[in-house]
């Protein structure tokens, strides 16, 4: 019997969700995404995984021959994000995710999205084929050592994380993660430039939630006026410093802003392993 549980990552993006599961000891078997840069980045960081570039809707999935224990994924969240001005709560991609769950029938599955999903859970989710034992948690990455204030919805079939009181009071400040006094590009800040939204960083506190484009192009500025580098954004999201993002700067920022924070994913993965260990199975 294999000592590692196998994972498939749907809407995998750069692989933040998978990175957390890998750190916990899982085998990442496959990643699927429609974005080329996401697939390139995932393939580079998970060289042993199969990577499929394409739309999962209507996809003839070769993954059906795999013995998969866990399915994870992050259907694009703009339909539920308060930062999206024209959202219409389209459930098409979430339904596609659930269809694959129904086909694979994994032991566990976890879907990540914005907290806005919780608000509509009682209403729209009644239209979805969710199992009776479906549960969800709203988790903030700051409670897992991440120096970014990022709250997300995690729903599916998985054991819930029990947060200790200590986690709610201990935070990791920005200055503990990056070298705030390093020289670098200083963003030009002016009220006349309506294309940019300036988000100033308190280095003694956690940083803001790193996002993709909202109504404006966001600029994250340190007290010196220096703009965060791509690698620093990734570090503040909890990525290891050897995780490489391929493509242009804008593409890398987009991938980071869409990612699941690896430490949060790792905590979820560890609860699954603990549950399996209590059953006398899988030691990673």
Which of 12, 39, 77, 261 is the catalytic position? 77
Q: Which tokens in the block code for residue 179?
A: 């070298």
Q: What radius of gyration do the chain's Cα atoms show? A: 19
Give yes or no: 77 in active site.
Answer: yes
Give the DSSP letter of residue 233.
Answer: H
Contacts of 29 (CB under 8 A, 6+ apart): 6, 7, 8, 49, 50, 63, 66, 68
Alpha-carbon distance of 183 to 154, in angstroms, equals: 38
The 3-state secondary structure of 114-166 reads: CCHHHHHHCCHHHHCCCCCCCEEEEEEHHHHCCCECCEEEEEEECCCCCCCHH
Give the DSSP letter of residue 85.
Answer: T
Q: Please, are residues 281 and 3 in contact by the beta-carbon 8 Å criterion? A: no
Catalytic annotation, residues? 77
């Amino acid at each position: 019997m294999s000592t590692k549980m196998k994972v498939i990552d749907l809407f995998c993006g750069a692989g933040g969700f998978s990175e957390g599961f890998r750190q916990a000891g899982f085998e990442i078997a496959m990643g699927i995404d429609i974005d080329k840069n996401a697939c390139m980045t995932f393939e580079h960081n998970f060289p042993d995984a199969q990577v499929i570039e394409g739309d999962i809707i209507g996809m003839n999935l070769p993954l059906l021959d795999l013995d998969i224990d866990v399915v994870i994924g992050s259907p694009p969240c703009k339909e539920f994000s308060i930062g999206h001005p024209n959202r219409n709560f389209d459930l098409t991609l979430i339904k596609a995710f659930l269809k694959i769950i129904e086909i694979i029938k994994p032991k566990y599955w976890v879907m990540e999205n914005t907290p806005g999903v919780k608000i509509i859970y009682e209403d729209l989710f009644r239209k979805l084929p969710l199992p009776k034992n479906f549960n969800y948690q709203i988790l903030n990455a700051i409670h897992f050592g991440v120096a970014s204030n990022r709250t997300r919805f995690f729903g599916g079939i998985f054991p819930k994380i029990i947060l200790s009181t200590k986690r709610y009071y201990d935070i990791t400040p920005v200055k503990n993660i990056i070298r705030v006094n390093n020289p670098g590009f200083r963003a030009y800040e002016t009220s006349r430039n309506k294309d940019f939204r300036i988000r100033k960083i308190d280095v003694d506190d956690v940083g803001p939630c790193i996002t993709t484009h909202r109504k404006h192009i966001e600029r994250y500025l340190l007290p010196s006026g220096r703009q965060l580098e791509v690698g620093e954004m990734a570090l503040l999201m909890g990525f290891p410093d050897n995780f490489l993002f391929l493509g242009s700067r804008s593409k890398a920022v987009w991938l980071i802003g869409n990612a699941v924070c690896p430490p949060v994913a790792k905590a979820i993965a560890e609860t699954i392993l603990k549950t399996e260990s209590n059953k006398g199975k899988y030691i990673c």
